[in-house]
Amino acid sequence: MKSRKRFTVAAVASALLLAVSACSQGSTTKQPDAGSSQSAGPAHIKIAYQQWGPGVVMKNFLTGVKSEYEAAHPGSQVEIVPVVASENDYYTKIQLMMRSPNTAPDIVYEDTFLINSDITAGYLKPLDDYIKNWDQWSQFEDTAKGAAKGQDGKTYGVPDGTDTRALWYNKQIFQKAGLPADWQPKTWDDVLSAARTIKQKVPGVTPFNMYSGKPMGEGSAMQGFEMLLYGTKDTLYNYDQKKWVVGSQGFKDSLNFVKTVFTEGLAPSPKDALSPNMGSKVGTELLPQSKLAIDLDGSWIYGNWLKSGAKPWPQWSTVLGQTAMPTQDGSGKGKVSLSGGWTWAIPAKAKSPDAAWDFIKTLQTPQNAAKYATDGAQIAVRKDVASNAAYKSSSASTQFFTDLVSVTVYRPALPEYPKVSNEIITAMESVMTGQSSPDDAAKNYDQAVEGIVGGKDSTTTKSTGQ
């Protein structure tokens, strides 16, 4: 995941954001000629990233780049710091690390949806003075550049890939259930109908998985709930009015879908779904062992099954199919996807920012970028990588997930979003566990959002159309 996108900020993290909101974002260090490959002298560089599950691909990639960098920069040392944590815990841990010069890494793996909130907290250093002299920046797609920008117009990270989301399904299980191998659901009801058929005709198999609840963090909010919400006529944020949307029918309908799959036993039990290891289990156990029929998940998941992955599975491309998540009733574009992405960023309190920039450039040479996009099951954000023959032929699903970019939606990259996301996850969990009805959970969400974004004047009941 890349993760991939799972987030619940605990109260301590919220307090942390307030406590450091006045911190300086910049550094008085003189900026080097960022176009030079030898712009920084020998330094000790610390790189913090999330190790999700076995973390084989990222670990091997960073180890290779470390060797390359140290050979080209005699006397320099690169320390790779894996933060072994679920994604929501990872976000909290790196924010704590970035508070102080004594603990701040020199490079941090930063989810794009956190950039504005981390800028507000004073955690990140703008990279514009480096980028302006870097001849590789023009290779990056504009959408990827935009995802790495703050509301102040400055760039705070270098993207390493993006992603889309859809339904993975097991063709062999579908055959046993009498369902078509070329499955193309047109509505939510079609998805539920297939799951119910599988439950009836193929016992012992979990019909459908969607991430839900606090332990899966942003994976629940984004891969689960928002893949539903943005398939309705409603959204999270009205960009025209610059207001957060509350009181929407689409929000309630999405929670009702969550209720249906859990109360009917179409999804994993709430106990299993609330495991922080659920994401890893889906990719390394449930899908490869044909214990799960349909999985609402990301484009990157097949990275588990490559030779370099955590669970090599050569047959995956013939056993599994991919199909777009349909909109609620087939209206609009008929299908929906969400995209995210991660960046390499430099904390404001990094000890060696110049050397850190040199290392980021090494991470993002055309050769290294192509290697990570291929091994890490990423959708390329560099134009030269996207046209690379090895990348284009790296997976049977590459073209399918790349085509979903035409219908994809991005989360509101605003400082308030992490807290709003946390309320989405809270609503999901209360419904999936039977603690709240969808209507009550939606009402609690609306009240919480009003408090987060500054009152009713900052909210609207009208969503931006799709």
- Whole-number Å distance between alpha carbons of 260 and 329: 16
List the beta bridge partners of residue 27.
none
- Whole-number Å distance between alpha carbons of 42 and 78: 10
pLDDT of residue 433: 97
Q: Is the Cα torsion angle 115, 452, 90, 97 positive or negative in sign?
A: positive
pLDDT of residue 41: 72
Taking only the tens place, the pLDDT of each residue in 430-459 is 999 999 999 999 999 999 999 999 999 999
**Mean pLDDT score of the chain:** 89
Taking only the tens place, the pLDDT of each residue in 71-116 is 999 999 999 999 988 777 899 999 999 999 999 999 999 999 899 9
Note whether 409 and 337 are within 8 A (CB). Answer: yes
Taking only the tens place, the pLDDT of each residue in 120-154 is 999 999 999 999 999 999 999 998 998 899 989 99
Residues 6+ apart with CB under 8 A from 239: 464
pLDDT of residue 3: 42
Distances (CA, A) of 168 to 181, 182, 306: 12, 12, 16
Note whether 236 and 221 are within 8 A (CB). Answer: no
Q: In the predicted model, is pLDDT for residue 4 greater than 70?
A: no
- Whole-number Å distance between alpha carbons of 240 and 258: 29
Q: Could you tell me the two tokens for 98? A: 């970035």
Closest CA to 398 of 367, 373, 429: 373
Distances (CA, A) of 345 to 109, 155, 299, 300, 383: 6, 9, 23, 21, 21
Closest CA to 391 of 411, 366, 424, 410: 366
Q: Could you tell me the two tokens for 231? A: 């398939």
**Residues constituting the chain:** 466
Max Cα–Cα distance, the chain, nearest Å: 67
**Sorting pLDDT into bands at 50, 70 and 90, what band is 20?**
very low
Q: In the predicted model, is pLDDT for residue 322 greater than 60?
A: yes
Note whether 6 and 211 are within 8 A (CB). Answer: yes
Question: What mean pLDDT is predicted for residues 16-38?
Answer: 36
Taking only the tens place, the pLDDT of each residue in 331-385 is 999 999 999 889 999 999 999 999 999 999 999 999 999 999 998 889 999 999 9
Amino acid at 328: Q
pLDDT of residue 15: 33
Which is more confidently placed, 216 or 19? 216
| Burial status of residue 21 (CB atoms within 10 A of its CB: 0-12, 13-18, 19 or more) | exposed
- Whole-number Å distance between alpha carbons of 325 and 338: 10
- Whole-number Å distance between alpha carbons of 397 and 166: 11
In this chain, the answer to whether the domains covering 11-163+340-394 and 165-339 adopt an identical fold is yes
- Whole-number Å distance between alpha carbons of 4 and 219: 6
Q: For the chain, what percent of residues have pLDDT higher than 90?
A: 78
Domain boundaries, the chain: 11-163+340-394, 165-339
Q: 34-48, 302-316, 420-434, 439-453 — which is least confidently predicted?
A: 34-48
Q: Could you tell me the two tokens for 96? A: 């704590």
pLDDT of residue 33: 40
- Whole-number Å distance between alpha carbons of 189 and 257: 10
Which CATH number fits the domain 11-163+340-394, given the four candidates 3.40.190.10, 3.60.21.10, 3.30.1330.60, 3.40.50.11540?
Answer: 3.40.190.10
Q: In the predicted model, is pLDDT for residue 2 greater than 50?
A: no
Parallel, antiparallel or unpaired: strands 165-170 and 320-323: antiparallel
**Sorting pLDDT into bands at 50, 70 and 90, what band is 53?**
low
pLDDT of residue 56: 81
List the beta bridge partners of residue 347.
124
Q: 162-166, 304-308, 442-446 — which is least confidently predicted?
A: 304-308
The angle, 0 to 180 degrees and rounded to 10, between the axes of the packed helices 353-363 and 56-72 is 120
Q: In the predicted model, is pLDDT for residue 237 greater than 70?
A: yes
Question: Long-range contacts made by residues 453-461, C-beta under 8 angstroms, separation at least 24?
Answer: 453/243, 453/244, 453/416, 453/420, 458/243, 458/244, 459/243, 459/244, 459/245, 459/246, 460/238, 460/241, 460/243, 460/244, 460/245, 460/246, 461/245, 461/246, 461/247, 461/248
Q: 407-411, 425-429, 455-459 — which is least confidently predicted?
A: 407-411
Question: For residue 422, how far is the Cα from the chain centroid?
Answer: 15
Question: What mean pLDDT is predicted for residues 384-401?
Answer: 88
Q: 175-184, 260-269, 399-408, 443-452 — which is least confidently predicted?
A: 399-408
DSSP one-letter code for 422 = H
pLDDT of residue 54: 67
Taking only the tens place, the pLDDT of each residue in 43-52 is 999 999 998 7
Residues 6+ apart with CB under 8 A from 384: 139, 366, 370
Q: Which CATH architecture has domain 165-339?
A: 3-Layer(aba) Sandwich (3.40)
pTM (2 d.p.): 0.81
Q: In the predicted model, is pLDDT for residue 277 greater than 60?
A: yes
